[in-house]
Structure 1
Amino acid sequence: MTLPSLRESLEAHGLMAKKSFGQHFLLDLNITRKIVRLGGPFDGDVVIEVGPGPGGLTRALLETEASKIVAVEMDGRFIELLGELNSVYGERFEVIEGDAMKVNEMQALVDRSLPPLAHIVSNLPYNVGTPLLIKWLTGPWQPLSMTLMFQLEVALRVVAPVGDNDYGRLSVIAQVLCDCEKLMDLPARAFTPPPKVDSAVVALKPKAERPEKAIIKNLEKVTAAAFGQRRKMLRASLKPLGGEALLEKAGITPTERAEQVSPQEFLRLASLI
């Protein structure tokens, strides 16, 4: 069976993007195939896609050698449209209706005889992109890799080096836990409807050695304190967590500010709290 084009599918089902869901569709299969190619390979693995919408990335993923694609979609309008892919791909494709932000663990949403490890590939809705990333970075369920599209300003924060204007809490948490790389930029005109800002795709690959759960919690705490008052010296912003004594123990100058401290130094602070 030959699938209709994405635009034809949307028209046939009378569907449009919902502003309240932060939806902007990527309908150009040449672009979605490039994203999948840069994020892969996924040979023999399971790939979870959050927020597939009409299925632009989904179709590109199904063209790979991945063993299974699981699409998690909260907008019930798209379930029937996505289900049409089963006519071509059969059991290699599964749609789950649910909200990835409202479950306790990602695994609870996708635990349908799947292996414990899977990749995540997603064109994330702008209004939940950062919270979802933090959830996947710090939560109990760990993906094999993440290939995620964000609005450009968020993507730049993920990969920003220490001292950069975009360097902040998200940079630290992402870079402590993953190797991060910006793969490609996407102009607003690539989307339907076009958003007001450009986008970018980021690859995050979890590091082989992961800090203990308690240290990750401390990392969230110390970065929130430091970057919540980023104009202050660390001896002031971190005073509730130990202040100068903590900083000296970690070998960090108390008069430095948050943007001057590397991810590994923040990890050292988190391990000492």
Structure 2
Amino acid sequence: MAKAQRAKRNGSAPSSPYQKPAAAKKAPIFKFNTKIGQHILKNPAIADAIVAKAHIQPVETVLEIGPGTGVLTTRILDHAKNVIAVELDPRMAAELSCVVQGTPKQQKLQIVLGDFIKLESSELKPFDVCISNTPYQREFALRLIARPGDSLYSRLSVNTQFFSKVSHVMKVSKKNFTPPPQVESSVVRIEPRTDRPNISWDEWDGMLRVCFMRKNKTLKATWTGNKVRAMVEQNWITWATINTEAVSEKDWKVLRGEESVDDQAAGEEADAMDEDGDEDMGGGNVSGGDEPDAEEDNTTLRRLAGIKLNKGLIAAKIRRVLDSTGLGSQRAAKCDETDFCTS
């Protein structure tokens, strides 16, 4: 009589009736979209450290950009008064809502669905601290904290350090994320500065763009180069066309051909010696008996608009500023935010 064939054992089945079956591997909640930077921090120790370094006070409202499944959010809620979580992915927002549902944390959390970059300021309540696990390369973090002379020192470094105090908190290996990103990460702390000068952001950033065009060239070579000088000349003409009354009498004489740039420089040098004070850099109100007629001068400047100055007026002004600040021979790569502010 033939033997009955025994059924093959399933690899996951217990080998004895007293052995518990192996636990099935837990499937992820959903597939993460790495194209929008969905790399979830999975190391609780690092999450605790990030929240601790934020120094959150019980009376503060925290804005979190990209909360994901709430690894940081739940910890922030333990310290903050309220949390505003801005999440782009509806699936993530739903998961975060489930995590806090039915707990005291639910009342302290506001979830805003949308792209933070596209949100209007009116769509967010005021907040005191911002925490974000947004994706970026470690090199980006190093550029934020780079100082003059560092290879990564750039316009981003100057702008960041002019408006804030930046410090490096810790390195975070890509192994601490699910799924692992392609690059390593760093945690940085950025605190807004309250002692920064009240200057025009557009003018400040425009100046830095020129300085860092070739950060290892001298500032004098950069600013007196043909392309940069021509751009500054056109900008000055536009400004002078709009602000006719603010153009100095000496500049008017150069524009009208009544005085050369060399004559102007000599006159200013003499004025500086007589007054034992500052030289006239232009931009002062016109005064005295030789004051030009505003309507006539406005017409003259409008005819000049868009035409390259051939008197060397702007080049002379640039050289004068660089010489007076001692920055002509300096390089952008070696100057800090204080040097640029002085210029």
Q: Report if TM-score (shorter chain) is over 0.5.
A: yes
C-alpha deviations, 1:175-226, integer Å up to 9, x for none? 1111111011111111111112211111111112243351x22221122222
Shift in CA distance, 228/57, structure 1 to aligned 2, threshold 3 Å: farther
Indicate the residue corresponding to 2:38 in structure 1: 23
Alignment of 1:1-273 (within 5 A): 11=28, 14-64=29-79, 66-84=80-98, 85-88=100-103, 89-104=105-120, 107-111=121-125, 116-126=126-136, 151-212=137-198, 214=200, 216-239=201-224, 240=228, 241=232, 243-249=318-324, 251-269=325-343
Equivalent pairs counted in the alignment come to 227
Q: Deviations over 1:129-152 (max 9, x none)?
A: xxxxxxxxxxxxxxxxxxxxxx21
- Cα distance change, pair 55–254 in 1 and its aligned pair in 2 (3 A): same
Q: Deviations over 1:28-53 (max 9, x none)?
A: 22210111101213321000000111
1:99 and 1:201 map into 2 onto residues whose CA distance is: 22
SS at match of 1:47: strand
Q: Is the 8 A contact 2:218 2:330 kept in 1?
A: yes
Residues 225 and 81 of structure 1: CA distance in aligned 2, closer, same or farther (over 3 Å): same
**Cα 1:221/1:27, change in 2 over 3 Å:** same
Contact 2:144/2:157 (<8 A) preserved: yes
- Give yes or no for contact 1:177–1:206 (8 Å, CA) kept in 2: yes
Matched letter for residue 87 of structure 2: E
Aligned amino acid, residue 258 of structure 1:
A
SS in 1 for 2:188: strand
1:244 Cα deviation (Å)? 3.0
Classify 1:41/1:211 alpha carbon distance in 2 versus 1 (closer, same or farther; 3 Å). same
2:341 is matched by which residue type in structure 1?
Answer: L
Q: Tell me the SS of whatever aligns to 2:130.
A: strand
8 Å CA contact 1:187–1:199 kept in 2: the answer is yes
Kindly report the root-mean-square deviation, in angstroms, between the aligned alpha carbons of the 2 structures: 2.2
Task: Name the SS of the counterpart of 2:131 in structure 1.
Answer: strand
Answer yes or no: is the 8 Å Cα contact 1:222–1:238 preserved in 2: no
Residues 169 and 110 of structure 1: is their aligned pair in 2 closer, same or farther, counting only changes over 3 Å? same
For residues 85 and 72 of structure 2, what CA distance do their matches in structure 1 show?
10
Moved over 4 A (4+): none
Q: Is the 8 A contact 2:165 2:190 kept in 1?
A: yes
Structure 2 CA distance, aligned partners of 1:203 and 1:156? Answer: 12
Q: Per the alignment, do residues 15 and 210 of structure 1 end up closer, same or farther by CA in structure 2, a change over 3 Å counting? A: farther
Name structure 2 gaps, 5 residues minimum. 1-24, 233-316
Q: Which has the higher strand share?
A: 1
TM-superposed CA distance for 1:267, in Å, is: 2.3
User: Any idea what SS the aligned residue of 1:196 has?
Assistant: coil
Displacement of 1:265 in angstroms is 1.3
CA contact (8 A) 2:144 2:161 kept: yes
Q: How big is the shift at 1:108? A: 2.4
User: Which amino acid is 1:164 matched to?
Assistant: D
Residue pair 1:236, 1:243 contacting (<8 A) in 2 also: no
